[in-house]
């Protein structure tokens, strides 16, 4: 991978996260002192001046040459409806998006209300030419690799063409954040034999095969393949992706609880657990989402990275690095080119409406 200077200006919504603006300021302090952020040109912090100024002062960042404060008096809460939130023009969450629109920032980061961020980003930045709907990727850790699952919930149901778009969006994102030149892209289905699955899957599969010069499409994959390092990008509709992601999280939490309970059930086991402290720490590190704690909404004219509402300073720091990586790799320019080629192919192919059943 060629190292380029990022030189990016990233706008960060200081008010949206569960842990409040002090955690965001702590993340900035951490990031500015870390090698992850050396290529960053400037951070624009949006939020209530009266709250942020004392925090910046306390952190010794008040006059830092890379930190700019942008006053935004309003705050969108976590349970606010996207449409209602969009009317609060003075909110910090809307301000970061608007800074991207006007070109004052190259990318935005927010831990705020997901629905509001996605809705507002789509309205303010608009979809890229040729893209029907934006998609949200999620990075899932496995044994010796990570894979990108998308769509993780932006569009519950998709046509075959939208699945192809998801493949293109995911591939571009993989190249931006993984050290891989040709990420392997797989289309998730319920049986890789001919005639299995749905009509949409079969059509998307045909289109993707024709795009092999553009993306490294490896074909249909099953649930079994996801954790096996078969594909770097796992493509599906947002309904499946969102359920998959949340169920996996629930499963991991349950396993962690069971493991903890069992290895502390008696004094002997407790000693054994102590001897394996390093093993458990290593497993925790392997499966921690920290390194890929944010994800951009893909397919928009501009970069907006959504970080989890409960993000701590490490996660927020990581989300800013993800924004820098995407900008450094000129992710969006590449997406535009490939989408155009895919749409030209799709024009001549039959398209089944989302969800019509397959008689295979």
Q: What is the phi-psi region of residue 318: left when phi exceeds 0, alpha when psi lies from -120 to 50, beta otherwise?
A: alpha
143 touching a copy of itself, by CB under 8 A: yes
Residue number, 121 or 338, with CB nearest to a copy of itself: 121
Sole binder of a copy of itself in the list 283, 288, 340, 344 (CB under 8 A): 283
Q: Does 1 bind a copy of itself (CB under 8 A)?
A: no
Looking at the Cβ atoms of 182 and 269, the one nearer to a copy of itself is 269
Cβ proximity to a copy of itself: between 252 and 333 the closer is 252
Among 16, 17, 47, 197, binds a copy of itself (CB under 8 A): 197
Q: How far is the CB of 235 from a copy of itself (least distance, A)?
A: 12
CB of 316 to a copy of itself, least distance (A): 23
Closest CA relative to residue 313, chosen from 59, 8, 99 = 59
Per CB under 8 A, 142 contacts a copy of itself: yes
CB-based contacts of 91, cutoff 8 Å, min separation 6: 15, 72, 74, 75, 76, 85
Q: How far is the CB of 199 from a copy of itself (least distance, A)?
A: 9
Would you give the binding string for a copy of itself spanning residues 238-277, x where CB under 8 A is met? xxx-xxxxxxxxxxxxxx-xxx--xx-x--xx-xxxxxx-
Size of the site for a copy of itself (CB under 8 A): 65
Please name which of 132, 40, 34, 116 lies closest in space to residue 325, comparing C-alpha atoms.
Answer: 40
| Least Å from the CB of residue 240 to a copy of itself | 5
Nearest approach, Cβ of 112 to a copy of itself (angstroms)? 17
Q: x/- contact string, 74-113, with a copy of itself (CB under 8 A)?
A: ----------------------------------------
1/258 with CB nearer a copy of itself: 258
User: 49 or 229: whose CB is closer to a copy of itself?
Assistant: 229
- Residue 319's nearest CA partner among 300, 302, 295, 298 is 295
Contact 263, 274 (CB under 8 A): no
- Interacting residues with a copy of itself between 320 and 359 (CB under 8 A): 353-358
Residue found under tokens 């629109």 = 101
Determine if 294 is a binding residue for a copy of itself (CB under 8 A).
no
> Can you give the binding site for a copy of itself, defined by CB under 8 A?
142-143, 153, 156-157, 188-191, 196-198, 200, 222-228, 236, 238-240, 242-255, 257-259, 262-263, 265, 268-269, 271-276, 278-280, 282-283, 286-287, 353-358
């Amino acid at each position: 991978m060629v190292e380029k200077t990022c030189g990016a200006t990233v706008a960060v919504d200081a008010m949206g996260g569960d842990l409040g603006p002090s955690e965001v300021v702590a993340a900035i302090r951490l990031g500015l002192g870390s090698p992850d952020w050396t290529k960053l040109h400037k951070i624009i912090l949006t939020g209530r001046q009266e709250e942020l100024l004392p925090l910046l002062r306390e952190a010794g960042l008040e006059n830092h040459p890379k930190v700019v404060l942008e006053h935004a008096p309003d705050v969108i809460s976590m349970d606010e409806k996207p449409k209602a939130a969009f009317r609060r023009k003075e909110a910090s969450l809307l301000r970061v998006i608007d800074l991207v629109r006007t070109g004052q920032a190259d990318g935005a980061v927010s831990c705020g209300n997901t629905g509001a961020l996605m809705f507002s980003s789509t309205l303010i930045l608009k979809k890229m030419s040729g893209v029907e709907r934006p998609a949200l990727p999620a990075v899932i850790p496995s044994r010796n690799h990570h894979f990108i699952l998308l769509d993780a919930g932006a569009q519950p149901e998709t046509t075959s063409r939208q699945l192809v778009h998801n493949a293109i969006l995911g591939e571009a994102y993989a190249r931006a954040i993984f050290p891989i030149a040709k990420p392997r892209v797989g289309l998730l289905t319920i049986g890789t034999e001919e005639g299995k699955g749905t009509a949409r899957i079969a059509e998307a599969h045909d289109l993707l095969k024709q795009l092999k010069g553009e993306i490294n499409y490896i074909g249909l994959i099953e649930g079994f393949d996801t954790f096996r390092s078969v594909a770097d990008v796992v493509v599906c509709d947002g309904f499946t992706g969102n359920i998959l992601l949340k169920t996996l999280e629930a499963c991991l939490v349950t396993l962690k609880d069971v493991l903890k309970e069992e290895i502390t059930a008696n004094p002997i086991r407790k000693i054994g657990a102590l001897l394996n402290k390093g093993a458990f720490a290593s497993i925790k590190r392997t499966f921690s989402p920290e390194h890929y704690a944010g994800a951009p909404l893909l397919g928009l004219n501009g970069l907006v990275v959504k970080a989890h509402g409960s993000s701590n300073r490490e996660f927020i720091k990581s989300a800013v690095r993800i924004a820098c990586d995407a900008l450094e790799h000129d992710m969006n320019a590449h997406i535009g080119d490939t989408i155009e080629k895919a749409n030209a192919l799709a024009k001549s192919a039959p398209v089944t409406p989302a969800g019509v059943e397959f008689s295979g």
